[in-house]
Every structure is written in C-alpha cells, then in structure tokens.
Structure 1
Amino acid sequence: MRILLCLASAAGGIGTHVADLAGSLSAAGHDVHVATDPATRGRFDLPGDAMLTVGEVRAFGRGADVVHAHGFRAGLVATTAMATLAPFGAGVPVVVSLHNPIRGSGSSPRRVVGEAAARGVVRRAALVTGASSDLVADARALGARRAELAEVPSPRVPTLLATDRAGWRAAHRDALLARHDLAGETPFVLTIARVAPQKGIDVLAEAAAGAPGQWGLVGPGQQDLAADGPLHLLGETADVTPWLLTADVLVVPSEWEARALVVQEAMAAGTPVVARRVGGLPDLLDGVGLLVDGPQEASAGPLAGAVAAVLDHPDRAAHAALAARERARGWDGLDDSATRWVQRYRALARVT
C-alpha cells in the first residue's frame, strides 16, 4: 500500500509512535511517507519530504491508498486537503488518530473553538481512533462516523519483559543511584516526564516533600526547576530502562495521559505504579496499580499516601507488579500493531 502519515510538530510520545509505525509499515513492504515539519522529521528520522500543509498533503495524498493523521492539528490539515479531491465520503480515506483531548475547560474560548474544529475533523474522517477509551468516547460525542480504540505500543516493552528484574537490580541498582548521589538502601521513587503543565511536576514536588523515600525526576526541561527541593533532578536520558528497573515505585502525577508509554514500560519492568485516575491510565492499571482519585490541585497528599502504602507493603506491591507484568505480555508489539493498521487501511480502501 502507499500510505501517507501526517504529524504536526512533536517532541515526545506521538512522534515516537509515528516513527515506530512508519518503520514497521516500511519493513512490511509498504510505501510510507510522512508529512510533517523539518524539525520533527529530523528528530524522529521520519521518511519522506512532504510538509504538513494543505497543498502538499493534497499532492502526496492524491496517489495514496490512505492518509493517516495523528492528532487534531494534523487531522485538520489532512481532512481539509483530501476533501477537495473528491465529494464527501468518496476518494482516498482519511484516518484520524487522537492522542490528546481538546484543551480548555467549561465554556472557555479555547474549549469552544477547539470543539468546533475537532467536530469538523472527526466528521470528515472515514475512521477516528483513540489511544485510550475516553478519547474514543470523545470522538463519538463529536460525531465521528466510526470510532474505535487503537492502542499505542511501547517499543521497549519486549526487552523489559525479557529482563531478569531481580538479577539486574542486584548487579546495577546501587551503582546507578550512587552515581547520582542517591542512597542504595533507601527506596527510590521515580517519575519520568518532560517538564510541562500537563505533567503535574508541581504536584510531584509537593508530594515528595511529604512522603518517604528519595524521589527523582528524569526527563527534559528541568533547567528552570529549583535544584534544592525535595525532588532530585536527574536530567534527561535516551534510555530510561535502567531507571525503570532501579525504581521501587513509578509515580505519574499527570493531569491527563492516554496509554502512557512509560506506564506500559514500568509494568513490563515489574515496577509498581502509582498514578492519578485520569485518561487512559485506568485502562492500563485497574487491578494492578494504585490509582488516586480527586482534583489535580488536591492530589499531592493522596499521591504521597499511595507511595507510602506501596513502600510499607512490599509483598503486596510485588504481587501487583507481577500481575501488571503478566498483563503486559498480552499486548501487541510494534509489528502486530502495524499489521492491525494495514487491516484497517485495506478495509477502508474497499469500503470508501
């Protein structure tokens, strides 16, 4: 098949997902191009040279079997471009994958404008997918003709599942902590996230001040954070695997997440997870992790309490983490996920 993927500027998980999907589709023999901006293309080594503009998506999409846009912004460009090639409901099918909810709250201008734009995008698409079940519900509420769940896999999961956690920790954990002036005998509480409002780093720092253990943050954007607080700033790394295996608990304080890659990876590593009950995290963690309810502004105390519960009951936490690891063994890998996408594409090409 000839497949055009569309992606707006990205620096995190969505870009990683599109790169993984493009690689798996290409390896399976499909002709894959990505329409995006030069910085994103270079960051994720994406194939093709099309820019994410209406004109270039229209030109590249004209000869495609399917156009697959990731996110509302890319979906707006793709549906606008392809609607001009053929009457509504005919021609090259457009798939729109949602990875984030509409921003803004209540009846704020941002929310109202965002919903109006999103409604037009999802109604033009032949298929809308959500990375979590709440995004699928959002798409249906906005008027999508067809909406379904499409889980986004992490490429690190197979390696983590194959790793002997206990053996790795015995050989490497204390040395990694010592290199960052952390004590091996003290429980280590980890968060992996970029510094952004959605990620709840302020809540994390507040929770760290009132909880046992030594808390650390790994991820980009830490240069503006206070270095003398209760949260150890551990910088950015290309491979988070050693940190996941070192941690005694992973904490996810985000205001919202879809099918968070780092949570998938922690589950595969056998690391207990504490997270807020938001977005797609219950899809992953119900029954095998600790989920904290309540508003973002009041979540520091419950997060700290949940971490304390994990550390106070290591046998119970280990049992839950083992169940989480077994759940992860049943997930699709990158190639299986790409195969499912090709099945969707071909079904749409026959129907449209």
Structure 2
Amino acid sequence: MRILHCLRAPVGGLFRHVRDLAAAQAERGHAVGIVCDSTTGGEFERSRLAALEEHCQLGVYRLPMSRQIGLSDFFATRRVRALAAAAGADVLHGHGAKGGAYARLAGASLKRRGHSLITLYTPHGGSLHYSPERLSGRLFLSLERRLAR
C-alpha cells in the first residue's frame, strides 16, 4: 500500500506516534510518506524528520500549516491533495485536528475526481479538548461533525 500521513506539528506525542507508525509500515513493505508543518519545531524535530526519510519512500514534505483556522488552510489542503495524487496514495491518514481536516478535505476532493483512496482520521485530542459549553468548542465540534460526513 501507498500510505501518506498528514499532521500539523512535528512535535510531541502525536509526532512520536506517526514516526513509529510510518517506520513500522515501511518495515512491512508499505510505501510511506509524511506531510507536516514547516513552521513548527526546531533542530531536534528536523533531525527526527531527516531520520525518517529512509523509511519514507513517498517522501517527507513540509509546508506552512497555521495552528489557527484561516485562508492559508485552503492552500495547504490543495497542496496535500496534490501530494497525495502525485504519490498515488491508497491511504491518506490525517492525524490531529488540522492534519485530519486537511486529509479529509483533500481525500474527498480526490474521490470526486475519480481517485480511489481510503481516508482515515485519528483525532489525538486537539479540537476535542474544547468545552462544548463555550462558543469556540461548539464551533470546533461542529466542524468535526461536518468533516466526519
């Protein structure tokens, strides 16, 4: 299988999970790639991404991914879609709120264009940490429900 993982921040537990998952998938013969934010992390994270390149036959791509919702998300989603199409991804796996949104939107767009791929989403918390009692929580949870369709 050709598996492309999408996440925003290449830091912390989510990044550790994706690194472990990508390495294990590659060891089992899958072609793996990673798309993540280019504005987050430091030298430590860059070295971890560089170490992953040997496992990532589909490549490691970094592009700007804002933590907040904004117009830049449109451009990032288009770039994720283009990378998934160029890689011939069978699976587009989004991690975290932002990576999950990009993967689900890009995957839906590719499916409408006739591509056959599976889109997966692992929340890892993110938008689910907001209280549904607050306006921001209601907004993020509403977006999660819409993207789940």
> How big is each residue's C-alpha offset from its partner over 1:58-117, in whole Å with a ceiling of 9 and x where there is no partner?
1121210110111121111111112122239x7311000121161322431111111111
Partner Cα separation in structure 1 for residue 144 and residue 9 of structure 2: 18
Structure 2 equivalent of residue 85 of structure 1: 110
Amino acid at match of 1:84: S
Counterpart of 1:111, as a letter, is G
Could you say which residue in structure 2 is the equivalent of 1:49? Answer: 60
| TM-score, scaled to structure 1 | 0.32
Shift of 1:10: 4.1
Name the CA shift for 1:44/1:108 in 2 (closer, same or farther; >3 Å).
Answer: same
* Structure 2 equivalent of residue 98 of structure 1: 123
1:106–1:24 distance in 2 versus 1, CA, 3 Å: closer
1:58 aligns with 2:81: yes
Q: Equivalent residue for 1:24? A: 24
Q: Read off the aligned partner of 1:4 and give its amino acid letter.
A: L
Report matched runs for 1:110-149 at 5 Å: 110-123=136-149
How many Å separate the matches in 2 of 1:94 and 1:100? 18
Assess, with a 3 A threshold, how the Cα gap between structure 1 residues 107 and 32 changes in structure 2: closer, same or farther: same
Residue type matched to 1:21 in 2? L
Could you tell me whether the CA contact under 8 Å between 1:16 and 1:44 is conserved in 2?
Answer: no
Alignment of 1:324-339 (within 5 A): none
Paired residues of 2:91 and 2:120 also in contact (CA < 8 A): yes
Which amino acid is the alignment partner of residue 104 of structure 1?
Y
Alignment gaps of 5+ in structure 2: 54-58, 66-75
SS in 2 for 1:85: helix
Partners in 2 of 1:44 and 1:56 — Cα distance? 23
Looking at structure 2, the residues matched to 22 and 36 of structure 1 have their Cα atoms a distance apart, in angstroms, of 13
After superposition, the Cα gap between the structure-2 partners of 1:4 and 1:107, relative to the gap in structure 1 and judged at 3 Å, is: same
Q: Cα gap change, 1:54/1:106 in structure 2, threshold over 3 Å: closer, same or farther?
A: closer
* 1:292-347 deviation digits (Å, cap 9, x = unpaired): xxxxxxxxxxxxxxxxxxxxxxxxxxxxxxxxxxxxxxxxxxxxxxxxxxxxxxxx
> Which residue number corresponds to residue 71 of structure 1?
96
Instruction: Give the paired residue count.
Output: 123
Residues in 1 aligned to 2:6 and 2:105: alpha-carbon distance in whole angstroms: 13
Give the superposition deviation at 1:43.
5.5
Question: What is the CA RMSD across the aligned residues, in angstroms?
Answer: 2.4
Q: Kindly name which structure, 1 or 2, has the bigger radius of gyration based on alpha carbons.
A: 1
1:9 aligns with 2:12: no
Q: Secondary structure at the match of 2:60?
A: coil
Q: Tell me: higher relative CO, structure 1 or 2? Use CA pairs within 8 A at least 6 residues apart.
A: 2
Displacement after TM superposition at 1:42 (Å):
1.5
Matched, 1:109 2:135: yes
Query: 1:115–1:25: structure 2 CA closer, same or farther, 3 Å change rule?
Result: same
In structure 1, how many angstroms separate the alpha carbons of the residues matched to 2:139 and 2:118? 26
Amino acid at match of 1:103: H
- Match for 1:12: what amino acid? G
Measure the CA separation in 2 of the matches of 1:95 and 1:7.
12
Structure 1 unaligned runs (5+)? 124-352
2:90–2:116 CA contact under 8 A, matched in 1: no
Deviation per CA, 1:2-29: give whole Å up to 9, x if none: 1100111142111101001111111222
